[in-house]
Amino acid sequence: MGNDRYLTIALGKGRLAKKALELFENIGITCDEMKDPNTRKLIFVNEEYKLRFFLAKGPDVPTYVEYGAADMGIVGEDTILEEARNIYEVLDLGFGKCRMCVCGPKGAQDLLNHQELIRVATKYPRIAKDYFYNQKHQTVEIIKLNGSIELAPIVGLSEVIVDIVETGNTLRENGLDVLEVVCPLSARMVVNQVSMKMENERITKLIADLKGTLGQN
């Protein structure tokens, strides 16, 4: 079978994309064009390996991969859980490590302990709902926000938030604490289900090479 088809890899814009490119460099796949901080280009080609990389908003990466517009993607586990797309999750890349947590002022701990009907602000309503309803069996009101989630308990929109905590700096600087840990998170590689069959050899080799450089072999 000829290998003239490009394999397309969707990268979540920002920190993860930068780390992902470093990882590909470790296995000899470079894409210098993509590192130009001033570029507005969205798609980058590596002719040698017949790979095509593109940058997308994190939450859109699982969508591109499910529909096969990208054969593979690199995205945070938080996004994979929230988007719940039909895709294969094949590799923990070990970077982008953080935790999904319930956070709030210290006083909100009592409300959690007593299973009060509280308001929970979050960018991750599916994860929050699963945690409170299915794991804790606590009825809450979930309010979807799109960013700066830490504002919500400070200005009285909600009692707690469900959000990503990495260094903890945002919480500290806003007088909030981690009250409960929902789950650990890191960057993952995901694969389209049809591509996994049709391009199995190339994709399996790429995964094996990445595992090798990650010390997972």
Are 94 and 76 in contact by the 8 Å Cβ rule? The answer is no
Indicate the residue among 134 and 167 with the shorter CB distance to ligand PRP.
167
- In Å, how far from its chain's centre is CA 117? 29
Query: Interface with ligand PRP by CB under 6 A: which residues?
Result: 123, 147-150, 163-170
Indicate the residue among 7 and 101 with the shorter CB distance to ligand PRP.
101
Are 160 and 153 in contact by the 8 Å Cβ rule? The answer is yes
Rounded to the nearest whole angstrom, what is the least distance from the CB of residue 119 to ligand PRP in the complex?
18
From the list 174, 122, 119, 171, the residue with the least C-alpha distance to 146 is 122
The residue at minimum Cβ distance from ligand PRP is 147
First-residue to last-residue Cα distance in the chain: 28
Rounded to the nearest whole angstrom, what is the least distance from the CB of residue 171 to ligand PRP in the complex?
6
Indicate the residue among 71 and 78 with the shorter CB distance to ligand PRP.
78
Rounded to the nearest whole angstrom, what is the least distance from the CB of residue 50 to ligand PRP in the complex?
33
Handedness of CA 7, 10, 14, 19 (dihedral sign): negative
Indicate the residue among 169 and 217 with the shorter CB distance to ligand PRP.
169
